[in-house]
Structure 1
Amino acid sequence: MAFRDAALRYGRGNWKAQQGRLLQLYAQGGATVSVRVDPGLHREIHSFGGHDVELCMNCGNCTAVCPLSEESGTSFPRRIIHLLQVGRADKLAQTADPWLCYYCGECSESCPRNANPGETMMATRRYLTARYDWTGLAGLFYKSAAAEIMALVLVGLFVVALFLVFHGPVVTSHVELNRFAPVRWVEFGDLVMAAVLTFFLLTNASRMAWNFMGGSQLLKISPLVYLQQIPTFLVHFFTQKRWRRCGSERSKRRWLTHLVLVSGYLSMLTLVLVLLRWFQTDEIHPFYHPQRLWGYYATGALLYATVDFMISRWRKAEPIHRFSEASDWIFLIMLFLTALTGIIMHAARIAGLPVATYVTYVIHLAVAVPMLVVEVPFGKWAHLFYRPLAIYLKSVKEAAATRAREAPAAAVEA
């Protein structure tokens, strides 16, 4: 603790001296190259959960033990910690390195200073998510659990209010869910919500791409290169396969559980956004019907994975779950409650309990809609999109560089 306090005092009291030395490093041939630094960046990272940045002395041990450092092609994760310490927020936004980390925990477990570089990388991803977001809501929600919970509650109350005003006939003699909540209107609401969330997510992602690709430089790359690398994005979005290269059996098990969670989430999203008219029906199909089996799989996957992750976070048994922010818990709890209320509503419908079905249906949507509205563009969910996007943009950069090197040789041969 004494080391930590000393590092904090040094970071706060001697920043100007650090900044001056940084500028002298860039002096060549008598000329000084100015660089933009953010003296408060290390304190900003504190608010996103990176509490031990100042403890790192750049020994390089984390890079030596990281299974992905050689593949990443940089001194990873040491370089990111260095950028945080010297306040290079601009450089931080231009690198994919924070998104290439899957938090296997090898670096944190072997750090001689207990600087927890794995958690610093996690905090950096939260910081970047907030930086990409032009609304400012992501930063607000990450820094204030009360604000995030309030947003979830307000959206949930809005959903309840919609049903109180616009619900259909309440048939109590038997279950008629599609009269109480006409599927065409629910489907319309789903599509509107999907369009709004896609707008926020893609506009934030465009800010990420603009920073990462060097601003207008992204327009100088052939559209063909972007198209050729799309499979890279899709593979990493659906599989997160680089996680398996972290090496340890523990990491591979975590990857598999995460894959189950993503498959359950995407299954449920497909059922309610694309196949809602097939999925929300008053007809009770046999247990073995694809509609029910697919829904059971999605629910089981979400419940299993969220409970597993919550238990691990509670026990703090693994490095990836040793430190938890409020946003981590809120995301898992909302996913768990979405799946739980959905299966309870389904059980009430199968049992022929009309009032219970209608009430739990409203409760289910009052949980699921806020989870999507708040978490997809502004919360924990966003990393599912930003990570494969970073890998995709990195591959675009590398492919464009390769084409640029090969072009002169091809011209000479011609």
Structure 2
Amino acid sequence: MGYRVTPGLHRQIAKFGGGDVTSCMNCGNCTVTCSQSMDSGGFPRRIIHLLQVGHREKLEESLEPWLCYYCGECSDTCPRDANPGEMMMAARRYLTSRYDWTGLGKRFYTSATWEVAAVFLVGLFVVALFALFHGPVVTDRVELNTFAPVKWVEIGDWIVGGTLGLILLANASRMVRFVMRPEKGRKIPLSLLFGEWRTFVANLALQKKWRECEGKKTRWLKHLFLVSGYVTMIVLVEIFLRDFQTDEIHPVYHPTRLFGYYATAVLLYVTGDFLVERLRKRGPIHKFTEASDWIFLILLFLAALTGILVHGFRLAGLPLATYTTYVIHLAVVASFLIVQVPYGKWAHMLYRPLAVYLAAVKQKAKESSGRMEEAA
């Protein structure tokens, strides 16, 4: 198929944090040092070249940006200090905006004003809802479910979760369509598509391919704990909310309290650690921080912090503090979910394992096609 060139693509990428891609002279040092490049056609060099010459459609079809886990070795050893790792990060941001059918992803990634405004608007909307429709304010004791009936909060959870899920699925389908575009005309057996489901699940749950990167596994482990904490909290809120948000004080060994404490501790520790590392610019991945990176971490940290404060005020028997902090907590959580899940770094949780899965499917299809041609 023919490809059109997009003049100025490198300038567009710069808006996503990629720096000056023309500083790369394609020496290939980054490809040699990358432990992931062996089975993916030589990235990051190939991706940087696509950015330089303006091959937007080929970039959309590429999986390599999602197979890079930004260990930073390529940036550390680049003889021209071109920061190829950051260019790959910018390519991921750009691709996220291309998958997004609403156009909001591009706005949020290229304009801090847009993203901050969206966060505040969503938060203010939640506060306004409580100001207008909250239940009776009981002040002689804590009755959170009287102030915010759990059934209405639960319905709100389902509406937001369902809407975001549909947006993510639509974005993921666009990703699949872009990536599989070169395979048009080649029949891929359903047995092959379903046969690689373990690859998707393993990388969704454990980011298994990340472990192939050389060096310490500390960052992988932190991300694993972060995801486990986030998923635990989602399960508690979406499935067990009636046990989680209750006026009955459960014993400390109750499952909802234990899992809630685990999720909160993990979210606070890991996001706090990431914030400190970015402030200190520790390691190549933290040398360059875009507004979207700060907003993601700050919102996630505040969501966990306000959540545990609600719990603490409730145990202490402080009604007004509990209700006020609860409203702030939901405002932060709603802002995080609506702004970050479909459009921000949270979406990487879906796109990365999907990319590994699609890479495996394409490789198996290529091998199968080769065997059929040889047999013919």
After TM superposition, the score normalised by the length of structure 2 is: 0.96
Displacement of 1:406: 4.1
Any residues of structure 2 matched to 1:113-124 within 5 Å, and which?
113-124=80-91
Map of 1:376 onto structure 2: 341
Q: Are the equivalent residues in 1 in contact too, given 2:71–2:213 (CA < 8 A)?
A: yes
**In the alignment, which of 206, 214, 229 is matched to residue 247 of structure 1?**
214
Shift of 1:114: 0.5
Cα distance change of structure 1 residues 407 and 275 upon mapping to structure 2, 3 Å threshold: farther
Aligned to 1:290: 255
Q: Is the 8 A contact 2:230 2:263 kept in 1?
A: yes
> Match of 2:282?
317
Change in CA separation of 1:396 and 1:34 when aligned onto 2, cut-off 3 Å: closer
**Which of 168, 172, 176 is matched with 2:139 structurally?**
172
Give the partner amino acid of 1:380. K
Which residue of structure 2 lines up, in the alignment, with residue 16 of structure 1? none
Structure 2 CA distance, aligned partners of 1:405 and 1:60?
A: 29
1:333 pairs with one of 292, 298, 302: 298
Whether the 8 Å contact between 1:210 and 1:218 is mirrored in structure 2 is: no
Equivalent position of 2:54 in the other structure = 87
Q: Specify the code of the residue in structure 2 equivalent to 1:208.
A: M
Residue of structure 2 equivalent to 1:187: 154
SS at match of 2:342: helix
Deviation at 1:216, TM superposition (A): 7.6
Indicate conservation of the 8 Å contact 2:3/2:57, yes or no.
no
Distance 2:183 2:46 in 1: 25
Residue pair 1:237, 1:385 contacting (<8 A) in 2 also: yes
Q: Does 1:156 align with 2:117?
A: no
Native 8 Å contact 1:52 1:116 kept in 2: no
Using a 3 Å threshold, how does the CA distance of structure 1 residues 273 and 401 change in structure 2: closer, same or farther?
same
Instruction: Report the residue type matching 1:356 in the other structure.
Output: A
Partner of 2:328: 363
In the alignment, the residues of structure 2 paired with residue 46 and residue 160 of structure 1 have an alpha-carbon distance, to the nearest angstrom, of: 36
1:314: Cα distance to partner?
A: 0.7
Match of 1:61 in 2: 29
After the TM superposition, which residues 224-263 of structure 1 pair with which residues of structure 2 at under 5 Å, given as runs?
A: 224-249=191-216, 252-263=217-228
Instruction: Give the conservation status (yes or no) of the 8 Å contact 1:152–1:371.
Output: yes
Q: How many Å apart are 1:409 and its aligned residue?
A: 7.0
**In structure 2, distance between residues paired with 1:105 and 1:327:** 20
Could you tell me which amino acid in structure 1 is paired with residue 124 of structure 2? Answer: L
Unmatched segments (≥5 aa) in structure 2 = none
- CA apart distance, 1:242: 1.7
Task: Kindly provide the amino acid, as one letter, of the partner of residue 49 in structure 1.
Answer: G
Q: Distance in 2 between matches of 1:330 and 1:204?
A: 22
Separation in structure 2 between the aligned mates of residue 392 and residue 218 of structure 1, nearest angstrom: 20
How far 1:407 sits from its partner (Å)?
4.6
For 2:231, the aligned partner's letter is L
Residue 309 of structure 1, CA deviation: 0.4
Aligned residue identity for 2:113: A
Offset at 1:35? 3.8
Aligned counterpart, 1:130: 97
Aligned partners of 2:11 and 2:373: how far apart in 1? 47
Q: Percentage identity across aligned positions?
A: 60
Gaps of 5+ in 1: 1-32
Tell me how many residue pairs correspond in the alignment.
Answer: 376
Q: What is the CA-CA distance between 1:176 and the residue it aligns to? A: 1.2
Partner of 1:272: 237
SS in 2 for 1:378: coil
In 2, distance between residues paired with 1:289 and 1:353? Answer: 22
Whether 1:281 aligns to 2:235 is: no
Could you say which residue in structure 2 is the equivalent of 1:111? 78
> Which structure ranks higher in relative contact order (CA pairs < 8 Å, sequence separation ≥ 6)?
2
CA contact (8 A) 1:99 1:390 kept: yes
Q: Which has the larger radius of gyration?
A: 1
Tell me how far 1:124 sits from its aligned partner.
Answer: 0.4
Q: Residues 186, 219 of structure 1: CA spacing in aligned structure 2 closer, same or farther, 3 A cutoff?
A: farther
Q: After superposition, where does 1:30-49 map in structure 2 within 5 Å?
A: 35-49=3-17
Equivalent residue for 1:390? 355
Root-mean-square deviation (CA, aligned residues, Å) is: 1.6
Alpha-carbon distance in 1 for matches of 2:273, 2:185? 41
Of 83-92 and 216-225, the range deviating more from structure 2: 216-225
Q: Deviations over 1:379-407 (max 9, x none)?
A: 12111111111111111212223333445
One-letter amino acid of the structure 1 residue matched with residue 82 of structure 2: A
For residue 58 of structure 2, what is the amino acid of its counterpart? K
Task: Look up the equivalent residue of 1:382 and give its one-letter code.
Answer: A
2:163 is the counterpart of 1:196: yes
CA distance in structure 1 between the partners assigned to 2:374 and 2:241 by the alignment: 55
In structure 2, how many angstroms separate the alpha carbons of the residues matched to 1:409 and 1:56? Answer: 40
